[in-house]
Structure 1
Amino acid sequence: MDKTTIREGNVMSQINKSNIPHFDAVVVGAGFGGLYAVHKLKNELGLTVRAYDTGADVGGTWYWNRYPGALSDTQSYIYRYSFDKELLQESTWKNTYLTQPEIFEYLSHVADRFDLRSNYQFRTKVTAAHFNEETNLWQIMTDRGDEVTAKFFVTGLGLLSATNVPNFKGRETFKGEQYHTGAWPESGVDLKGKRVGVIGTGSTGVQLIIGIAPEVEHLTVFQRSAQYSVPVGKRPQSEEDIAKIKGNYGEIWKQVKSSAVAFGFDESTVPAVSVSKEEQDRVFEETWNKGGGFRFMFGTFSDIATNPEANEAACEFIRKKIREIVKDPETARKLTPTSLYAKRPLCDNGYYDTFNRDNVSLIDVKENPILEITSKGIRTTDGEYELDVLIYATGFDAVDGHYIKMDLRGRGGVSMREKWEDGPTGYLGITNTDFPNLFMILGPNGPFTNLPPSIETQVEWISDTVKYMVERNIKTIEPTQDAENEWLTTCSTIADATLFPKAESWIFGANIPGKKNSVRFYMGGLGNYRKVLEEVGYNGFAFDHAFSGKK
């Protein structure tokens, strides 16, 4: 079916009779997910699409996270789209991992190549979206006073985009500069010769600390939880190597999309508990030198994320490395984790070695809690630390944060905020009961993987579903409650078979005070997830409240 045929008999048969502008689809977000959704719906299906983003340009997460040292932890050759063979061949890179400016430049090129910016209204926040049961349309409102309607509402809000700033006492009294890494000024921040404090040592904090330590007068790191981190393995990549990769992209993407974590390496099938300690150390050392956080957790042995004994072997290897790298024994002690190695695996470009610098000091806020932020800096139980700049690397209200901050109302006026009060629900990480024709890219309980391949998988499912509905003049789609419940049980069962729920992590919402700890990912791997989508078809969905069946 060509675009013209799709346009005939499409959602315009339900065109809004009022003066409110109407579109076939509204897309929120201009990152990997939003851009691909606009491309599929506009360029391939020929639908009318309006898109919004709070940034001044495309990029999504990579527009806002401009902090020094920002780096993808996925290798350059697969941190990109795979849907266009020409795009794959014409795009290039310099190192094994991409920095923020390079990712932004890539997404900007994609937007230009497929004429996607023309659909966007930037510097615009969608504040509310209400489903109208009389018209079967979404009514969408923004902070700029816009109001539009659309049959399909596609959200590419990002897993890590709703910034989290802890409500420290006295935060408003600080007379210096304050920034959050997830809302870094486009013009940059001059930190040279300044006394800088960083709160947070997650993935962002680790990168920022490495990035700014050489230029500041003094850097004070306020650490809540010591982190297991391994080298990222960022190295220059030769033109010959890049050409070889491009010549083998067919097999590379086939492997990525059939794998578990989709990071471009073969996941190990060998349990650590099945080999000697000498063999464990040999494999760990080899992978430490090669680099990559997900590779260290999933490419070394098959049971690190599931078996406490295997997990402890990995823990002790990294602890030993920390003691070898960090010269001051007391600093090394503070930096050495004692918990499980069961959070999102971190990797870095010299994190532990940074604490050997004379201008870097570490404060353990579990041993010496932060009492308040003062006009001069931060006061902990062991004294006041005077600062010129305070940076919050305190992460995000991940996965569902943006959804519950929006006034999002579905059938019967049900609020997403209220519905997700005990943890986010949903079916297949894309849809939700009571919210017809709402498609969430990287919604709750989607795959825990390298994100671009998962995004492509979900956007292609969304596009296929929209096409299916348009061709048949189907008004609405939403999952049944039974299907949603079954999916949540599946996600919980898989997660409970791992060690991840036993660690306090943003993966389960533990970084947000008062937020219920609950499963927010499907941890069965991308290959299995793609099989589920194929096998399920449209079982578990209700069309027009009456029809459901297999695709």
Structure 2
Amino acid sequence: MGEVRSGSGEAPELDAVVVGAGFAGLYQLHLLRRLGFATRLFEACEDVGGTWYRNRYPGARCDIESTAYSYSFSPELDQEWEWSERYAAQPEILRYLRHVADRFDLRRDITLNTRVDRAVYDEVRHVWTLALSGGETVTARFVVLATGCTSAVKEVDIPGVGRFGGRILHTADWPRDEPDLSGQRVAVLGTGCSGVQAVPELAARAGSLTVLQRTPVYALPAHNRPLSAAEAAATKADYPRYRRAQRASRGGTLFTPPTRSALSVEAAERTATYEEGWRSGVLSGLLRTYTDLLSDEAANETVASFVRGKIRDTVADPEAAEALSPRTFPFGTKRPCLESGYYAAFNEPHVSLVDLRRTPLVEVTAGGVRTTEREYPVDTLVLATGFDALTGSQTAMDIRGRGGVTLREKWSDGAANHLGLVASGFPNLFTVLGPLSPSVLSNAVTAAEQHVEWIADCLVHLRRHALTEIDATPQAEREWCAHVAELAGRTLYPSVESWYTGANVPGKARTFLAYTGGMVEYRARCDAAARDGYAGFALARAAGHAAEPAAGATTAAGATTA
């Protein structure tokens, strides 16, 4: 166990505050309460759901199969909930999260419509003081930021957008009352995953649709479909085995790992393998075919060329097909998308593509958007322009750690923490699915459960030993950052400007923000640190703080079932 320091001061009002009511925050609240910690959760939106509350744009759905993209902590929950589709749409996922909040009686400790504007750490008392948007101030020993990987909307940096005379909609803040787009001239700016999902739906509703594309994206067919009663029954019967395997997997989904290089087989065999991956309707169906697709440019080009061929097969206009075909970055180094009619939409006579690489966007005008070539009249402008991913939801708050240093200042040269969990100088502040953890390179629900349970066990350990503070040591933080960078450097990821590296946000430091070593290795390292008395962390005790009797279960494992 690390060296124990002593401070002094009175106890806080709460043991823990959780920020955010998505998958991670709801489970964190549930588990800490069952372990006997006085906990409150604050959520900025009008209801629970996190990203699945705000992202209600047409076509929004999960790109991981519903039976996998769901909680594993409660066998009873697995048996009582039935998913209607292979890939659930936003309304169904939101219903699921609302059901979880009600089933486990979480709402009594959730305060909605409330942001955490400021959090200041008291180094003597080992307490966080949080200023809330409603004017309330609360104190808590521990704070868990369950604010999401992709929840901080990137600021719009388009000249003239403020003078647009029509309606502006953002995919990440879609109106609850669905806007009527019939007969409207609609333009979509952005062709990441949100744009890819929205375009077919918008094409079906609008009088005309103009897609303004800055960078083309690799999109794979989802082959989404309803789930039969027989499939649901089989899934429920297999859930106990599946959930164990899921938690022990590399990315939170199950597949047979590849064993060969893409360059070690004949072209015909490789194409046949890619065809099988394409037909699977799985986001990683192509990436999991060969060992070197994310580490060797020549190997990657074989799969990139295959996808471009599929785009040409689908899009009738050769010029549009070429514009939709990525050629400036390797396949998979930006998050691929699952599509349901995206490429086919460009065969519709009322849908047009504007290649902003060829004719750059100049400005938004009062009546539309203008490129270097012409002005396009628009009634409704849809922004699918992305997020300040992985760090933005945390740096958006005024978080002040030791010496009054803000988290924004600490991360000005790039995110830094130990194990993706605690940033040195910000004691008792934990992050779920934050930077330098598997997060966006994994099934987010499975990754969140691992984080939540590790944090809960850590708090139990501190309580059992009458400790009031845990902080990452600077050396452990440096070593973890170096380890994450070294692993990423073995891949093609860092060579590409993407939201994985923060390159989509002007002024943001460029570092690869996710752990590429997989969840198995990551979980092992987190478990080893805990087993070794939280190696890499400094533990401390405030003066006068006495041991408290443990309430309820003494580990997360003893408190995970309903």
Give the TM-score normalised by the residue count of structure 2.
0.92
Give the secondary structure class of the aligned counterpart of 2:477.
Answer: helix
Q: Over residues 483-504 of structure 1, what are the superposed CA-to-partner deviations in whole Å (9 max), with x where a residue is unaligned?
A: 1111111110111111111122
- Cα shift at 1:270: 2.5
Aligned residue for 1:112, secondary structure, equals helix
**Structure 1 residue runs without a partner (length 5+):** 1-11, 17-21
| 1:380 equivalent in structure 2 | 371
Match of 2:360 among 348, 369, 375: 369
2:481 to 473, 478, 488: 488
Instruction: Give SS of 1:522's match.
Output: coil
The residue matched to 1:226 in structure 2 has which SS? coil
What do residues 412-439 of structure 1 show as CA deviations (whole Å, max 9, x unaligned)? 1111111000111111111110011101
Partner residue in 2 for 1:318 = 307
**1:106 partnered with 2:135:** no
Matched ranges for 1:178-189 at <5 A: 178-189=168-179
The structural deviation recorded for 1:545 is 7.9
Shift of 1:254: 2.6
Deviation at 1:13, TM superposition (A): 9.2
Partner of residue 524, structure 1: 517
Alignment partner of 2:284: what SS? helix
Q: Structure 1: which amino acid aligns with 2:482?
A: T
Instruction: Report the residue type matching 2:539 in the other structure.
Output: F
- Whichever residue aligns with residue 46 of structure 2, its letter is A
**Aligned pair 1:431/2:422, yes or no?**
yes
The letter for the 2-side match of 1:347 is L
Matches within 5 A, 1:205-354: 205-297=195-287, 299-339=288-328, 340-341=330-331, 342-354=333-345
Cα distance in 2 between the residues matched to 1:446 and 1:391: 32
Which residue number in structure 1 is paired with residue 346 of structure 2? 355
Give the structure 1 partner of residue 548 of structure 2.
none
Structure 2 SS opposite 1:343? coil
Residue 140 (1) aligns with residue 130 (2): yes
Deviations along 1:335-389, one digit per CA (max 9) or x if unpaired, are 1111211211222112111110111100111111111111001011011111110
* 1:155–1:502 distance in 2 versus 1, CA, 3 Å: same
> Which residue in 1 is equivalent to 2:445?
452
SS at match of 1:149: strand
Give the gaps of 5 or more residues in structure 2: 1-7, 543-554, 556-562
- Specify the alignment match of 1:5 in structure 2: none
| Alignment match, 1:544 | 540
Moved over 3 A (4+): none
SS at match of 1:333: helix
Q: What is the correspondence of 1:44-83 to structure 2 with a 5 Å cutoff?
A: 44-83=34-73
Matches within 5 A, 1:117-128: 117-128=107-118
How many residues are paired up?
529
For residues 35 and 348 of structure 1, what CA distance do their matches in structure 2 show? 29
Q: Which amino acid aligns with 1:515?
A: K
1:120-150 alpha-carbon deviations (Å, 9 max, x no partner): 1111111100001121110001121110000
Contact 1:165–1:392 (8 Å) recurs in 2: no
Deviation of 1:403 after TM superposition, in Å, equals 1.5
Question: Tell me, what secondary structure is at the counterpart of 2:285?
Answer: helix
**2:5 — aligned with what?**
none
CA contact (8 A) 1:331 1:362 kept: yes
CA distance in 2 between partners of 1:443 and 1:462 (Å): 13
Q: Aligned pair 1:397/2:404, yes or no?
A: no
Distance in 2 (CA, whole Å) between partners of 1:102 and 1:142 is: 30
The amino acid of 2:343's aligned partner reads: Y
How far the C-alpha of 1:283 sits from its partner, in A, is: 0.8
Residue equivalent to 1:440: 431
CA distance in 2, matches of 1:545, 1:148: 21
Residue 412 of structure 2 is aligned to residue 416 of structure 1: no
CA contact (8 A) 2:145 2:394 kept: no
**Cα RMSD between the aligned structures?**
1.5
> Residues 26-62 of structure 1: CA distance to partner in whole angstroms, max 9, x if unpaired?
11000001000100111x1122111111110000000
Cα distance between partner residues in 2 of 1:143 and 1:94: 38
